[in-house]
Amino acid sequence: MSQHRRVLGTVQEDPGILRFVNSHDAPRLAALGTSCPDHFLRTKIKPLYVDWNPEEGNEDTLTRALSAGLEQYREDYADYYATHRRPSSPIMRDPNPTVILIPGLGMIAWGKDKSESRVTAEFYSAAVEVMRGAQAIDEYTALPLQEAFDIEYWLLEEAKLQRMPPEKELARRIIAVVGAGSGIGREVALRLAREGAHVVSADLDADAAQDTATLITDTHGVGIGVAGSGISNCGPAVGLQVDVTSRESIAALLRQVALAYGGLDGIAVTAGIFVSPDADGKIPDDKWTLTYSVNVTGHYLVADEAARMLKDQGLPASVVLTTSVNAVVAKKGSLAYDTSKAAANHLVRELAIELAPIVRVNGVAPATVVEGSAMFPRDRVLASLAKYDIDHSNDEETEALRQKLAQFYANRTLLKQPITPADQAEAMFLLLTDRLLQTTGQIITVDGGLHEAFLR
C-alpha cells in the first residue's frame, strides 16, 4: 500500500461493515463504487474487494489474495486513467485503493494520516448504507465512469491539492518510542509528534505510557472517529504497555501497532535501568542480571522482533538505541550499568550489519541526564549528592536537589550546561528522519563535551 507514498490504516469491523463484506452482493456493489462526489474523492473509483473465503482460507491464502488483488487494482486504475483522461487532466495519482474490503474481517481504510484514514472509513460506511437503502427500494446505481473521472481529476480540485501546505518532516511515519513514559523517552515522543509522526508511546508503566499519548493527542487532535471501538480507532498517538525483557510482550506490542496504524517506520528505545551498589559496593547477582536484561537484551529483543515487520514491509526504516558515554569511561560505582552500556554500543554495530540494507541502526549516548529521569528518584539524588560532597539539605524540594546534581555533572564537561532530555530527543529525531540516510552503525554522543569519553 505504501509503494507510492506511505499511508496509514484504520480497521473497521462493526456489524454494518461485516454485514456488507460478507453479503452475496458485496463483490458486485463494491465494483460499482460510490455515487456521491464528496465520498468519491475520499474512496476513489472503487474499493478493493478481496477474493477470499474466510471459511476455507488462512493467513497465507489471504496474503496471496491481497497481493494479487492489489496488483490487479493498480492495473485497473491505470487503465481507467488512460481511458478517461482528458488533454488537460493532471497526472495519474497513487494507483492504490483507499478502501480494502475483506470478507470475514471487515474494512481497512487508508490515508496520509490517521485522521484521514478514519474519515475515509466513515465515508465508505455511509456509502454502504446508501447501497443498502437503494437495494431495498430497487437497484443501486453508481456514477458513470467518465463523470467519476472528471470529478476525481477536476482541475479545481487539483489546484486545491497543490495549494495545501507542505507536509511535516515526519508526516506519514509511525514511530514507536519504548520508554516513553518519562524522561528522555517522553521528550523524544513529543519531539517526533511535533514533526508530524504518529507515535506509539510504550513503557513498562502503562499509565505513564498513556499519559504521554494523551498529551500528544490533546495537543495534535484526534480527528473524526468511526463506528466501533478499539485500538484501531486511536489518534496521532497510542499508549501501550511493554516489558522489554519479554519477547512475547514485545511481539504483542507490535501486533497492536499494526492494528492501530498498519505498520511501523522507526523505533527509538530509551528504556534503561541503573542499579546502585549495596552497602559493600557490590551489585547483587540478580540486579546484575536485571541490568543486562533491560539495557542489552531488551534492546536486542525489540530490534529483533521489529526486524520481521520492517523487512516484510520492505520500506526504509530506522532504529535508534540509547547507550551512554559511560560505555567508554571506566570508573568506580557503576560497574553493571557501564559495562551493559558498552555492550549496547557494540549491539548497535552488530544490528546495523544484521538489519542492512532495509533498516538503519544507530545509537545516542547521553551523559548523565537528571532532569525528568526515572533513574533518578529522590533517594538516588540524595545519595549522589552525599557521595560527591555537594552542599545540600534533606529538607530541600526534589527538583532543587536534582538541579544541584545536574549542575555538578555539567561542571565536569567542556560546555558547563546540564544535559537535558530535549538534547537527547534532538539527536534521536535527527537519526529517525531522512537527513542521515547514509548513516548506520554509529553512536552520536550528546554529553556537553565530557573529555574522559573522547575516543582514544
The percent of residues in the chain predicted with pLDDT above 70, rounded, is 97
User: Within the chain, which residue ranges are assigned CATH 3.40.50.720?
Assistant: 174-369+419-453
- Give the model's pLDDT for residue 3: 86
Q: Which CATH number fits domain 8-163: 3.40.50.720, 2.60.120.10, 3.40.1160.10, 3.40.225.10?
A: 3.40.225.10
For residue 430, the one-letter residue type is L
Write the DSSP string, 185-223: HHHHHHHHHHTT-EEEEEESSHHHHHHHHHHHHHHH---
Residue 141 clears pLDDT 70, i.e. is over it:
yes
Going by C-alpha positions, the residue among 159, 182, 135 that lies closest to residue 375 is: 182
Number of helices (H), then strands (E), belonging to the chain: the values are: 16, 11
pLDDT tens for each residue of 166-208: 999 999 999 999 999 999 999 999 999 999 999 999 999 999 9
Whole-number Å distance between alpha carbons of 323 and 350: 14
C-alpha cell at 117: 484514514
Cis? peptide before 357, omega within 30° of 0: yes
User: Within the chain, which residue ranges are assigned CATH 3.40.225.10?
Assistant: 8-163
Q: Which CATH number fits domain 174-369+419-453: 3.30.413.10, 1.20.1730.10, 3.40.50.720, 1.10.287.610?
A: 3.40.50.720
Burial 278-296 (b: 16+ CB within 10 A, else e): eeeeebeeeebebbbbbbb
Is the CB of residue 120 less than 8 Å from the CB of residue 98?
Answer: yes
pLDDT tens for each residue of 258-301: 999 999 999 999 999 988 888 788 899 999 999 999 999 999 99
pLDDT tens for each residue of 295-326: 999 999 999 999 999 999 999 999 999 999 98
C-alpha cell at 197: 509522526
Is the CB of residue 364 less than 8 Å from the CB of residue 444?
Answer: yes
- Give the model's pLDDT for residue 63: 94
Q: Identify the active-site residue in 140, 292, 337, 409.
A: 337
3 state SS of 142: coil
Report the mean per-residue pLDDT for the chain.
Answer: 91
Higher pLDDT, 305 or 329: 305
Res. 224 pLDDT band, cuts 50 70 90:
very low
How far does CA 280 lie from the centroid of its chain? 43
Residue 456 clears pLDDT 60, i.e. is over it:
no
Concerning whether 337 is annotated as a catalytic residue, the answer is yes
The number of C-alpha atoms within 13 Å of 301 and in the hemisphere containing its C-beta is 22
Residue 229 clears pLDDT 70, i.e. is over it:
no
Res. 222 pLDDT band, cuts 50 70 90:
low
